[in-house]
Amino acid sequence: MSERIAGLMRTGERPGEVILGERETVLPWFGPMLETTFGPIFEKQIFPAIPFFREIDRNDALAIDLGCGNGWYLRALAKHSPKLSG
C-alpha cells in the first residue's frame, strides 16, 4: 500500500478511496479506524458545538444512510437523538 501511495505522490494521480479496495488487508479496518479516530472528537467537541444536532431530536428527523462506511456517525447521532429514524 505504501508503494502504491508513493507512486501516486510522484504522478499526482488522485484515485480516491478506490485504492482501499485494492488490498484486502486495508478495507476491513478502514471504518473502525475512522470511528476510533473521529468518534471521540465528534462526541465530545462537534456534537455539543453545533446547535443543528440538538434540533434533530426535537424535530423527529429522518436519516438516510448511503452505506459508505461502518455506520459509526449514524450510531453516534442515534445515541444522542433517540427520535432519529431512518
For 32-79, write each residue's pLDDT tens digit: 888 999 999 999 999 999 988 888 878 778 888 777 778 888 888 888
In the chain, where the domains are located: 2-80
Whole-number Å distance between alpha carbons of 38 and 77: 13
Whole-number Å distance between alpha carbons of 26 and 75: 23
What pLDDT is stored for residue 1 in this prediction?
Answer: 60
Has residue 2 got a pLDDT over 70? no
Rounded mean pLDDT, 8-23: 76
Whether 21 and 44 have beta carbons less than 8 Å apart is answered as: no
The predicted model scores a pTM of 0.60
